[in-house]
Structure 1
Amino acid sequence: MSIKTSLKLLVVDDTSVSRGLVCMSLDEIGFKNVDFCSSGEQAFDIATRQGVHIILCDQNMPGMSGLDLLKKLRMQKSTSRVGFILISGSLTKPLLEEARKWELNNFMPKPFNTAQLKSCLQTVTGPF
Structure 2
Amino acid sequence: MKTIKVSIVTPNGPVYESDVEMVITKAQSGELGILPGHIPMVAPLAVGAVRLKHAGSKQEDLVAVSGGILEVRPEQVTILAQAAEKAEDIDVERAQKAKERAEQRMREQKAEDIDFRRAELALQRAINRLTVTGKQ
Q: TM-score, with normalisation over the residues of structure 1?
A: 0.25
Higher strand share: 2
Q: TM-score, with normalisation over the residues of structure 2?
A: 0.24
Higher helix share: 1
Which structure has the greater CA radius of gyration? 2
